């Protein structure tokens, strides 16, 4: 599991909190009520055409975006300052991404629930606010106009400086509850998105959710990798000798899953429960001594683990220790929120070699 890459994407989650939909009601709201209202599902998804700018800072540069949304379907046309021009369509059953410059197409079938690794903007925003509700002070910072529309401005300020997800500012449209502007400081990178146009009375033709693909375009079908349940004997056969948290004192191994990580490497995750309740998970894979060292991210600190130089991430709802030992990379995560980093380190000390 490339957890550092996933964490760096946390800022993108914030930058993509568009299309938050809810019912419009009158009255005065607390910050939580505005957030709850903006995240609320509606029976009839909103239809609109929008244009916005994105500034993804050092990780992505700037881009101009056009967006069509109808009946849960979406079309996005992005033109970046580096010349990239990408059209992406979610037609409800498939995601199609056409790179106009490279003349390449990637297609991915979606699960029946419409997810398949592509969370909706509402899901992205809900995850973001759930992450910060305990670590940030959230307040209404006034009312402003964005793209000519009345909005509530909601500010979430981090309670401490050294945190993965920093300060967040969002401007929520009073009528549609669409997030019209977002500014985030996450993983040390500032990102801004801002609508310059939002037309919720636009008439959008269903043809917008198809792409005319040139005959000479290179088309690739993308299969979303699925976790595979494996036995301990399989892991032993593939890894040889490695460290494992032993069962005992109420701790039981609930299952082992195999996932494909970077460069198709095999990563094995051991999931444990204690007294019948989810407790910890441990991921192990063979370390690549030639791999480029991944730079640390904000909120990550060094820590001695089992006599090895390791790292710890102790953020709200994300607690993890990582280290290398005898040619293997280990990551241990808290599943039970009552656990602490000290508990993880104690588990690491208990690990024994299995053959």
Q: Is the dihedral of CA 141, 145, 150, 151 positive or negative?
A: negative
More confident residue, 111 or 281: 281
The pLDDT, as a whole number, for residue 39 is 53
| CA–CA gap between residue 273 and residue 143 (Å, rounded) | 47
| CA–CA gap between residue 284 and residue 258 (Å, rounded) | 10
- Measuring CA to CA, which residue among 330, 232, 245 is closest to residue 287? 330
Of the pLDDT bands very low, low, confident and very high (cuts 50, 70, 90), residue 112 is low
C-beta of residue 315 within 8 angstroms of C-beta of residue 299: yes
- Among residues of the chain, what percentage have pLDDT more than 70? 75
| CA–CA gap between residue 234 and residue 354 (Å, rounded) | 12
Mean pLDDT for 187-213 is 91
Tokens describing residue 161: 């400086």
The Cβ of residue 77 has, within 10 Å, a number of other Cβ atoms equal to 18
* Contacts with 79 (C-beta within 8 Å, 6 or more apart), sequence order: 63, 64, 65, 85
The pLDDT, as a whole number, for residue 347 is 95
C-beta of residue 89 within 8 angstroms of C-beta of residue 78: no
The pLDDT, as a whole number, for residue 156 is 85
Place of tokens 């998970």: 281
Q: What's the distance, Cα to Cα, between the start and end of the chain in Å?
A: 23
pLDDT digits (tens, 9 = 90+) for 27-81: 345 555 655 655 554 445 688 999 999 998 877 789 999 999 998 889 999 999 9
The pLDDT, as a whole number, for residue 15 is 35
pLDDT digits (tens, 9 = 90+) for 284-304: 999 876 655 555 566 678 899
| CA–CA gap between residue 118 and residue 210 (Å, rounded) | 18
pLDDT digits (tens, 9 = 90+) for 77-95: 999 999 999 999 999 888 9
Of the pLDDT bands very low, low, confident and very high (cuts 50, 70, 90), residue 235 is very high
Instruction: Give me Rg for the CA atoms of the chain.
Output: 23
B/e letters for 158-171, b = 16+ CB within 10 Å, e = fewer, are beeeebbbbbbbbb
pLDDT at 232 over 50: yes
- Model-level pTM? 0.63
The pLDDT, as a whole number, for residue 137 is 85
Of the pLDDT bands very low, low, confident and very high (cuts 50, 70, 90), residue 268 is very high
Mean of per-residue pLDDT scores for the chain: 80
Per DSSP, what are the bridge partners of residue 314?
A: 319
pLDDT digits (tens, 9 = 90+) for 239-252: 999 999 999 989 99
pLDDT at 167 over 90: no
* Contacts with 320 (C-beta within 8 Å, 6 or more apart), sequence order: 3, 312, 313, 331, 332, 333, 334, 344
Least trusted range by pLDDT, from 54-63, 132-141, 214-223, 326-335: 132-141
C-beta of residue 74 within 8 angstroms of C-beta of residue 119: no
């Amino acid at each position: 599991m490339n957890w550092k890459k996933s964490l760096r994407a946390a800022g993108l989650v914030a930058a993509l909190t568009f299309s938050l939909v809810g019912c419009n009601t009158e009255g005065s709201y607390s910050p939580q009520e505005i957030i709850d209202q903006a995240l609320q599902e509606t029976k009839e998804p909103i239809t609109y055409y929008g244009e916005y700018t994105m500034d993804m800072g050092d990780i992505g540069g700037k881009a101009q975006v056009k967006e069509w949304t109808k009946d849960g379907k979406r079309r996005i046309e992005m033109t970046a300052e580096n010349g990239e021009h990408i059209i992406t369509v979610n037609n409800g059953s498939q995601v199609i991404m056409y790179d106009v410059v490279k003349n390449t197409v990637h297609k991915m079938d979606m699960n029946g629930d419409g997810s398949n690794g592509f969370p909706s903007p509402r899901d992205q925003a809900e995850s973001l606010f759930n992450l910060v509700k305990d670590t940030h002070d959230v307040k209404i910072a006034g009312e402003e106009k964005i793209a000519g529309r009345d909005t509530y401005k909601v500010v979430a300020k981090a309670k401490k400086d050294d945190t993965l997800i920093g300060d967040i500012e969002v401007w929520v449209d009073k009528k549609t509850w669409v997030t019209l502007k977002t500014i985030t400081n996450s993983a040390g990178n500032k990102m801004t998105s801002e609508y310059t146009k939002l037309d919720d009375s636009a008439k959008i033709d269903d043809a917008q959710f198809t792409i005319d693909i040139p005959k000479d375009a290179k088309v690739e079908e993308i299969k979303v990798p699925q976790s595979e349940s494996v036995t301990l004997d399989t892991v032993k056969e593939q890894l040889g000798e490695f460290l494992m948290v032993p069962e005992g004192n109420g701790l039981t191994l609930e299952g082992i899953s195999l996932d494909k990580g970077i460069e198709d490497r095999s990563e094995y995750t051991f999931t444990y429960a204690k007294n019948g309740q989810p407790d910890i998970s441990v991921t192990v894979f063979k370390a690549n001594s030639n791999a480029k060292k991944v730079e640390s991210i904000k909120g990550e600190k060094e820590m001695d683990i089992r006599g090895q130089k390791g790292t710890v991430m102790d953020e709200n709802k994300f607690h993890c220790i990582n280290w290398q030992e005898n040619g293997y990379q280990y990551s241990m995560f808290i599943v039970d929120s009552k656990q602490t980093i000290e508990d993880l380190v104690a588990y690491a000390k208990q690990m024994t070699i299995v053959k």
